[in-house]
A and B are shown apart, each in its own frame.
Chain A
Amino acid sequence: AQSVTQLGSHVSVSEGALVLLRCNYSSSVPPYLFWYVQYPNQGLQLLLKYTSAATLVKGINGFEAEFKKSETSFHLTKPSAHMSDAAEYFCAVSVPNTNAGKSTFGDGTTLTVKP
């Protein structure tokens, strides 16, 4: 069965500082991996996805993530935090042709950006 663990339910950074949100996955076969962002009172929207092509994936709003098979990780980074990045972030894993391609989500990490 596939699963995702997000380390740290709350992360706080200063504006302009590096953002690092951690995600580790468990899957018996090569997975697809996703990061979603949820702004207050909104639904989730896709930030970026890994689908077995390039291991370094670039997404919207300056975010990127690197797939590391040896570490079973897919950490999300952004070089310089902006106030508008304050939101909740979810990592998700999905496996082709398993459970109808279901996405399994982590518990989420709330990012706070201090001025």
Chain B
Amino acid sequence: EAQVTQNPRYLITVTGKKLTVTCSQNMNHEYMSWYRQDPGLGLRQIYYSMNVEVTDKGDVPEGYKVSRKEKRNFPLILESPSPNQTSLYFCASSLKAGVPGELFFGEGSRLTVL
């Protein structure tokens, strides 16, 4: 089954404790992206990747890191989480970079930073 898998789905952590949210897709997609969803603000792009070893900042990259060492994986790293990073996070992928196409989304990771 074609899918984007995120883990963990739910996480409560404390300020400053490093965490990683994993994302994996099994569709051989070139393009992957992370979004955060906050009430009334829609989805805002954090980082994106056009292919292996190619990543770039989105609209709200502060406080986040990413890597793309393999085509299928695109982890989101919070080196020192703060309460303003409490949010619902989505990983998404698309077949080709540079060509607008359907985004396939994971089920989301709800993060709470105390």
Contacts and interface: CB of A to CB of B under 8 A. Distances in A.
Interface residues of A, number: 26
A96 B94 CA distance: 13
A46 interface: yes
B4 A100 contact: no
A105 B103 CA distance: 12
Interface in A33-85: 34, 36, 41-46, 49, 51
Interface of A: 9, 32, 34, 36, 41-46, 49, 51, 90, 92, 94-97, 100-103, 105-108
Contact of B42 (A34, A101, A107): A107
Interface stretch (B12-20, B60-68, B72-80, B104-112): B104-112
B53 interface: no
Given A100-B50, A101-B31, A101-B97, A42 B108 contact: yes
